[in-house]
Amino acid sequence: MPVDRALRTRESRGGRSTRGRTPLTIEPGAGLPSARVPDLVLLDAAELSWVLHRREASCVEVMRAYLEHIDRFNPAVNAIVSRADDAKLLDEARQRDQELDRGEPAGWMHGFPVAVKDLSNAGGFPTTMGSPVFAEHIAAADDLHVRRMREAGAIVLGKTNVPEFGLGSHTFNPVFGTTGNAYDPTRTAGGSSGGAGAALALRMLPVADGSDFMGSLRNPAAYGNIVSLRPGFGRVPAGGFLSEPAVVGPMGRTVRDIALLLSTMAGPHERAPLSIEQDPAVFTGDLQRSFDGTRIGWLGDFDGRIPTEPGVLDLCAGTFEAFTAAGCSVEPVSAPPDPAPAWETFLLWRSWMVGSAHAELHADPATRGQLKPEAVYEVQRYLEFGAADIHRALQGRQHWYEQVCDLLDRYDFLLAPSAQVFPFDAEQRWPGEIAGREMDTYHRWMEIVAPWTLAGNPVANLPAGFTEGGLPMGVQLIGRNHGEWPLLQLAHAYELATDWTHRVLPPALRESGAAR
């Protein structure tokens, strides 16, 4: 069948296929899939685009396949919320088919079903942010990155679930409930892009948008055995004259897919004065290149300063072999910088940005009682702020950035775990201790991601493998400022050597007969 031919051509477009070549070694317990999940939802995004533009499947067929797949698998994880009416979505898909009939494709995402993170606006859809305060709010217009996805041909079918106000790297809220992990729905999917991560892992979306202040693109990808990119400041335009720690970025099942989505999200905008002027078409180029002689510095747990659950470091260190196969050398960073000052600086920025965003709701007696404790914590810290704290935040950030630059003078890339713990019980609000060390804030358990948020360097999450119990973990690959393209190229080389996303499907897909 035509779709089968698309699957066989993956390697010719820079990906991996288990068809027409020596089969990949399947990890024990991974399972060998059979053929009952629709092939269309198993296509990577680049493959799906190819199939649609060659008219080997219609936009209506793709939309129907995804809607049926979501109906089947979403109830187990609660990843996609606020879904549009099926009839309306199928009508939009017919319009996309008519545009193709006229030879008028909108872009590489023409006919793609997408769901937008529920912290971002998609015109006509609710933007609840997981809060009862905004449960009835309907967005009047798209945020810029959402508009760009629609202009590239995507069809918004709903939203992806988030923690309330995006706070905490565990996706649960009083509006829609908890999002479960694709590999074990009783465990967390991470957050705040947890709904997007679980939906991608279960093949309910071809690609997804996410955002990241404190690992919100990284730990859901690590917990879902998928890839993501936290871009550097200005790569995806945002308004204002201050490089805020939060950025929007792409999530997907392959590096090629997130590179293509970045090419859609990125690019300068006249209302974003700090946006990067580079043509985003660079991200559609050839991902393959030589990395002979490339040096990667392994930071691990910063010489024991950041606690990790037993097994995390060993699993992440298992990635060294794949980087070595790509021509790199990986070595432990000797005398890594102390992350404690960076953490204290991060806390200042966190409360400054997050607290100020929710101070008005906290001041209003009608809404104060509806704020989650984590939001109240940030607001209360913000209300104690003075000019000296802002000065410390600015100076501390510059000092840390200089230390990161020093590291990247010694190494071409850096490597660290994407999370300090494996996916934990979804009934748990957040981990209270790690390796015997008490967590003194609701987010201390994700301290490992904070240094790179603070510096603003681009960071990719790459799947690192699984525990014996089948829970995924990922590693952060950190590049130089404005270095998203070489970072993606190295991520692609790693992917060619590992291909975790296709090798180990979530149990629900294996049990249902997903073929690849």
Q: Which is nearest to 122 in space by CA: 248, 234, 255, 242?
A: 248
**Does residue 26 register a pLDDT over 50?**
no
Average pLDDT, the chain: 93
The whole-model pTM stands at: 0.93
pLDDT of residue 512: 81
Q: What is the percent of the chain where pLDDT is above 90?
A: 91
Rounded-to-integer distance, Cα 397 and Cα 346, Å: 8
Point out the residues that are catalytic.
117, 192, 216
**Does residue 16 register a pLDDT over 80?**
no
488 within 8 A of 229, measured Cβ to Cβ: yes
- Band (349; pLDDT cuts 50, 70, 90): very high
Surface-to-core class of residue 106, CB atoms within 10 Å of its CB (0-12 exposed, 13-18 middle, 19+ buried)? middle
pLDDT of residue 37: 55
pLDDT (mean) for 410-423: 98
CATH code assigned to 2-339+393-512: 3.90.1300.10
**Does residue 283 register a pLDDT over 90?**
yes
Single-letter code of the amino acid located at 391: H
Task: Express the helix, strand and coil content of the chain in percent, nearest 5 each.
Answer: 40, 15, 45
pLDDT of residue 404: 98
**Does residue 200 register a pLDDT over 70?**
yes
Spell out the residues 6+ positions from residue 197 whose beta carbon is closer than 8 angstroms to its own. Answer: 79, 182, 189, 190, 208, 210, 220, 221, 223, 224, 226, 228, 251
pLDDT of residue 257: 98
pLDDT of residue 21: 22
**Does residue 2 register a pLDDT over 60?**
no
Single-letter code of the amino acid located at 411: Y
